[in-house]
Amino acid sequence: MEEGEARELPLVLASASPRRKALLRQMAIVPCIIDPADLDERPVHGETPVAHAERLARAKAAVVAARHGGWHVLAADTVVACGRRILPKAESLDDAARSLALLSGRRHRVVGGVCLHTPSGHTIVRVVTTIVAFKRLDSDEQSAYLATGEWQGKAGGYAIQGRAAAFVRFLAGSYSNVVGLPLYETAALLRGSGLLETGRGTAAGV
């Protein structure tokens, strides 16, 4: 196998997100199976962003692991929050417009939960928080971004790997977490399970 070539691993990714698949590929990882969990992702009353991300990552892993006994299952959830307010995934133009107006000129948190469910039934979760600050967006900038459609299905109504990158004046923490999967923590989980070589960020045997 050529150095840097992606390798298929005995891993189920509990997500259909093309961003998460692309991030795993940066570590030369291709999951054998893609099987997204179909869950109600609305927060429960009083739930903090950290608790919400952890709960959903665990729940997604458990649901998919029940369908794939004997496999490693990797699940993740990404939450965008202003203070304690959890912003929804933007499913409509109105959703995205409200989120963008709220984020304009403010700092917000992107909380990522990543969970690995092992064949033995052991579950390990890591939660990562990234601080992001947007510049103040005028109405023309907001309208132009909404017209791109990049916001569709995105937590907080924006994609940092797209045109919204120009809105970010400050970022502290994991960039990949904002995209959809914290790679440092994900690599640590996979190394601990033997799926990655110790000391490397690529698949064992690559």
User: Which one of the listed residues 35, 38, 40, 77 is annotated catalytic?
Assistant: 77
Place of tokens 């307010």: 85
Residue 77 is a catalytic residue:
yes
DSSP state of 49: H
Q: CA-to-CA distance for 190 and 67, rounded, in angstroms?
A: 20
Buried b (16+ CB within 10 A) or exposed e, 139-158: eebbeebbeeebbeebbbbb
Rg, Å, the chain Cα set: 17
Please give the positions annotated as active site: 77
